[in-house]
C-alpha cells in the first residue's frame, strides 16, 4: 500500500473519531472534547466581537489559536478539530521528509568521501565528474529499504492512537509540534544555506510563540548548525560568542518571528497577553491533579506563595539534564533528532505540570529516532510502551474517582505520579543506552 493511501486511511480514522466524539459528548458525562477546546472557542467568540480572547477566564494561549478556530463560530463547531487533525497529518508527512533528507545527506556525504579518496589516487575524469554530481545534487536515489524505513517511522505517528485522540479532542499542541518539525526540516536540508537557516529560525520562533517548550531546543539547534565536535566547555562558549553565518541567520530568524508576534499581540492586548500566554506558565500550579511528580506538593501548598528558591529547585534538575543532553547529542546534525526527543522527554517528565497533551511534544520526535533502535530487541520494544501505558492507567483510575465520583484519592494520585515519573526515567535510560549513533552514518 502506498504512503498516500496510508495518509487517506489515517485521515478517515481521525474524521471518524471527531464524529464519535460528538456522539459521546451528547450521551456521556465523560466528555470526549477537551475542555481547552471549549476555552479556545470562547476566546474566538471574544475575538469575533472585536475583543480580547483573554476576556475568557483561563484562556492562556497565543491569540493565533483563537483566530485559527474562528470558523468554529462561523462554519461548524468542530472545524478546529479538523484543522488540528490536518496539522496532525502534516507531522506524519514531515517525519518522512526529514528522514529521507537525513538518509540522502548521509549517502551524499559518504559517497563524496569515498570518491575523494579514489580521485586522489586516480585522476579519472569520470570520477571527478561523478563527485561533482553528488556534491551538486540533493536528489540522489535511495535504496527502497530506506524509503520504506522513513514511511514506517511516519506510520508510528499516523497510527498512534494516543496522538490521534489528543488532536481529535481539540487540542492544539500538534500546531507547535508541526512548527518544530518544519524548523528541523529546513535546518537539516542538504543545501546548508543562510536562507534555509533563516527560515528554520522563523519556524522555531513561531513555535516558541505557540508554546514555550521549544526554547529548550534552541541551544541544540544552534550547536548543530556548526556541526563539529566541541569537546571542552571553552569550545562551546567560543562557538556561542563567535558564530558562523548560518548560526547568525538561525538566531536572526528566531528573534524576528518571536519578536514580531509578541510585539503585535502586546500592541493589541497589552500586558495581559504577556502574562496569560507566557509568564503564567512559569508560575502555573495545577492543584487538582496532573501526572507531575510535584502535584501533591502543589496541592498541599496551594494557599502559600512559591518562593524563588523553590522555583529554582523545581526547574534545576531538568535544566541540568537539558544542558547535558544538548552537549551530548546537539552538536551534530546526525544526532540532533534524538537530542531533541530526549530534551522534550525530560521537559515533560520533570515539569511541575504534566497533562496528556504534553506527550505529543516528544512523541512527534520519537519516530525520527526509530531507525537508530535497530538493536533494542523485541522484548524491550514491547516492554517500554506497555510499562508506559500501564503506569498511566494506574494514574487515571484514582484521577477518575476524584474527578467524577468526588472521592478523596489525592494520595493515590501522588503515589501513581511517583510511579509514572520513575517509569519515564527508566524508559529514557533504556532508550539512551540502546541508541545506535553509528547507524546514522550507515548507507549500504
The Cα–Cα gap between 352 and 182 comes to 28
Same structural domain for residues 238 and 300? no
Chain-centroid distance of CA 355 in Å reads 14
Same structural domain for residues 353 and 407? yes
DSSP-derived 3-state class of residue 68? helix
Judged on CB neighbours under 10 Å (0-12, 13-18, 19+), 122 is: exposed
Residue range 81-93: mean pLDDT, rounded: 95
The larger pLDDT score, comparing residue 41 to residue 290, is at 41
Judge whether 428 and 342 are in contact, CB under 8 Å.
yes
The confidence score (pLDDT) of residue 131 equals 52
Q: 53 in a domain, yes or no?
A: no
The confidence score (pLDDT) of residue 101 equals 86
Average pLDDT of every residue of the chain: 85
Alpha-carbon torsion, ordered 355, 356, 360, 366, to 10 deg: 110
Same structural domain for residues 263 and 148? no
Residue range 129-148: mean pLDDT, rounded: 62
The confidence score (pLDDT) of residue 443 equals 40
Same structural domain for residues 84 and 160? yes
pLDDT at residue 111 is higher than 60? no
Show which of 224, 246, 280 is a domain's final residue: 280
Same structural domain for residues 150 and 21? yes
Q: 54 in a domain, yes or no?
A: no
Inter-CA distances, 341 with 96, 148, 241, 312, 391, Å: 16, 22, 26, 24, 20
Q: 398 in a domain, yes or no?
A: yes
The larger pLDDT score, comparing residue 123 to residue 167, is at 167
DSSP-derived 3-state class of residue 101? helix
Same structural domain for residues 324 and 255? no
Question: What does the block give as the cell for 61?
Answer: 494561549
Question: What does the block give as the cell for 274?
Answer: 504577556
The confidence score (pLDDT) of residue 438 equals 61
The confidence score (pLDDT) of residue 227 equals 62
The Cα–Cα gap between 247 and 258 comes to 17
pLDDT at residue 291 is higher than 80? yes
Show which of 104, 135, 168 is a domain's final residue: 168
The Cα–Cα gap between 50 and 42 comes to 13
The larger pLDDT score, comparing residue 132 to residue 57, is at 57
The larger pLDDT score, comparing residue 283 to residue 242, is at 242
Q: 49 in a domain, yes or no?
A: no
pLDDT at residue 77 is higher than 50? yes
Judge whether 389 and 420 are in contact, CB under 8 Å.
no
Assign 139 a pLDDT band (cuts: 50, 70, 90). Answer: very low
DSSP 434: T
The confidence score (pLDDT) of residue 345 equals 96
Range of the domain at 124: 1-32+77-168
pLDDT at residue 137 is higher than 60? no
Question: CA nearest 331: which of 206, 228, 444, 209?
Answer: 228
Same structural domain for residues 151 and 203? no
Same structural domain for residues 247 and 259? yes
Q: For the beta carbon of residue 377, count every other beta carbon within 10 angstroms.
A: 11
Show which of 280, 311, 345 is a domain's final residue: 280
The confidence score (pLDDT) of residue 106 equals 66
What total of structural domains would you count in the chain? 3
Q: 62 in a domain, yes or no?
A: no
pLDDT at residue 9 is higher than 90? yes
Residue range 332-350: mean pLDDT, rounded: 92
DSSP-derived 3-state class of residue 90? helix
Judged on CB neighbours under 10 Å (0-12, 13-18, 19+), 332 is: middle
pLDDT > 70 in the chain, percent: 86
The confidence score (pLDDT) of residue 119 equals 47
Q: 42 in a domain, yes or no?
A: no
pLDDT at residue 278 is higher than 60? yes
Question: What does the block give as the cell for 43?
Answer: 476566546
What DSSP string runs through 39-56? HHHHHHHHHHTTS-GGGS
Which H, E and C letters describe 220-269, residue by residue? HHHHHHHCCCCCCHHHHHHHHHCCCHHHHHHHHHHHHHHHHHHHHHHHHH
Judge whether 28 and 106 are in contact, CB under 8 Å.
no
The larger pLDDT score, comparing residue 150 to residue 237, is at 150
Same structural domain for residues 289 and 269? no
Q: Among 56-70, 126-140, 172-186, 250-264, whose mean pLDDT is lowest?
A: 126-140
The Cα–Cα gap between 221 and 392 comes to 31
The Cα–Cα gap between 188 and 186 comes to 5
Same structural domain for residues 161 and 20? yes
pLDDT tens, 214-245?
Answer: 999 999 999 888 866 666 677 677 777 788 88
Q: Which pTM value belongs to this model? A: 0.88
pLDDT at residue 285 is higher than 70? no
Judged on CB neighbours under 10 Å (0-12, 13-18, 19+), 159 is: middle
Q: 48 in a domain, yes or no?
A: no
The larger pLDDT score, comparing residue 108 to residue 378, is at 378
Residue range 67-76: mean pLDDT, rounded: 93
First to last CA, the chain: 25
DSSP-derived 3-state class of residue 29? coil
* Phi and psi angles of residue 59, each rounded to the nearest 5 degrees, phi first: -75, 110
Same structural domain for residues 99 and 189? no
The larger pLDDT score, comparing residue 140 to residue 40, is at 40
Residue range 146-171: mean pLDDT, rounded: 92
Same structural domain for residues 323 and 396? yes
Q: For the beta carbon of residue 382, count every other beta carbon within 10 angstroms.
A: 10
The confidence score (pLDDT) of residue 140 equals 52
pLDDT at residue 142 is higher than 90? no
The larger pLDDT score, comparing residue 22 to residue 138, is at 22
Q: 293 in a domain, yes or no?
A: yes
Residue 169 CB partners (closer than 8 Å, separation 6+)? 21, 32, 33, 34, 37, 81
Amino acid at each position: 500500500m502506498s504512503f498516500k493511501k496510508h495518509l487517506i486511511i489515517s485521515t478517515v480514522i481521525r474524521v471518524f473519531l471527531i464524529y464519535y466524539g460528538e456522539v459521546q459528548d451528547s450521551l456521556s458525562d465523560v466528555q470526549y472534547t477537551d475542555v481547552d477546546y471549549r476555552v479556545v472557542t470562547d476566546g474566538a467568540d471574544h475575538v469575533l466581537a472585536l475583543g480580547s480572547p483573554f476576556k475568557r477566564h483561563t484562556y492562556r494561549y497565543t491569540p493565533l489559536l483563537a483566530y485559527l478556530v474562528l470558523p468554529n463560530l462561523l462554519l461548524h463547531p468542530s472545524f478546529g478539530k479538523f484543522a488540528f487533525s490536518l496539522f496532525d497529518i502534516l507531522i506524519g508527512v514531515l517525519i518522512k521528509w526529514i528522514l529521507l533528507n537525513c538518509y540522502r545527506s548521509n549517502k551524499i556525504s559518504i559517497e563524496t568521501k569515498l570518491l575523494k579518496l579514489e580521485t586522489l589516487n586516480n585522476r579519472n575524469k569520470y570520477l571527478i565528474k561523478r563527485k561533482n554530481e553528488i556534491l551538486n545534487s540533493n536528489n540522489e536515489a535511495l535504496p527502497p529499504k530506506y524509503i520504506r524505513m522513513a514511511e514506517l517511522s511516519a506510520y508510528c505517528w499516523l497510527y498512534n492512537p494516543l496522538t490521534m485522540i489528543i488532536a481529535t479532542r481539540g487540542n492544539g499542541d500538534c500546531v507547535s509540534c508541526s512548527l518544530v518539525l518544519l524548523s528541523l526540516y529546513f535546518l537539516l536540508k542538504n543545501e546548508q544555506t543562510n536562507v534555509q537557516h533563516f527560515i528554520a529560525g522563523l519556524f522555531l520562533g513561531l513555535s516558541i510563540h505557540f508554546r514555550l517548550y521549544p526554547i529548550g531546543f534552541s541551544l541544540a539547534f544552534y550547536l548543530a548548525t556548526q556541526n563539529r565536535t566541541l569537546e571542552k566547555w571553552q569550545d562551546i562558549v567560543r562557538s556561542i560568542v563567535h558564530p558562523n553565518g548560518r548560526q547568525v541567520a538561525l538566531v536572526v530568524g528566531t528573534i524576528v518571528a518571536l519578536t514580531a508576534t509578541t510585539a503585535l499581540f502586546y500592541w493589541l492586548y497589552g500586558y495581559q497577553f504577556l502574562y496569560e500566554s507566557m509568564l503564567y506558565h512559569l508560575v502555573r500550579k495545577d492543584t487538582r491533579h496532573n501526572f507531575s511528580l510535584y502535584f501533591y506538593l502543589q496541592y498541599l501548598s496551594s494557599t502559600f506563595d512559591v518562593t524563588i528558591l523553590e522555583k529554582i529547585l523545581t526547574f534545576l534538575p531538568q535544566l541540568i539534564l537539558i544542558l547535558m543532553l544538548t552537549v551530548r547529542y546537539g552538536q551534530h546534525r546526525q544526532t540532533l533528532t534524538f537530542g531533541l526527543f530526549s530534551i522534550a522527554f525530560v521537559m515533560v517528565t520533570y515539569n511541575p505540570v504534566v497533562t496528556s497533551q504534553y506527550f505529543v511534544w516528544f512523541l512527534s520526535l520519537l519516530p525520527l529516532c526509530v531507525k537508530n533502535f535497530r538493536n533494542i530487541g523485541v522484548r524491550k520494544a514491547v516492554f517500554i510502551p506497555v510499562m508506559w501505558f500501564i503506569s498511566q492507567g494506574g494514574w487515571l483510575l484514582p484521577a477518575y474517582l476524584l474527578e467524577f465520583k468526588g472521592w478523596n484519592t489525592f494520595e493515590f494520585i501522588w503515589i501513581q505520579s511517583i510511579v509514572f515519573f520513575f517509569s519515564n526515567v527508566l524508559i529514557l535510560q533504556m532508550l539512551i543506552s540502546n541508541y545506535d549513533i553509528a547507524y546514522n552514518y550507515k548507507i549500504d
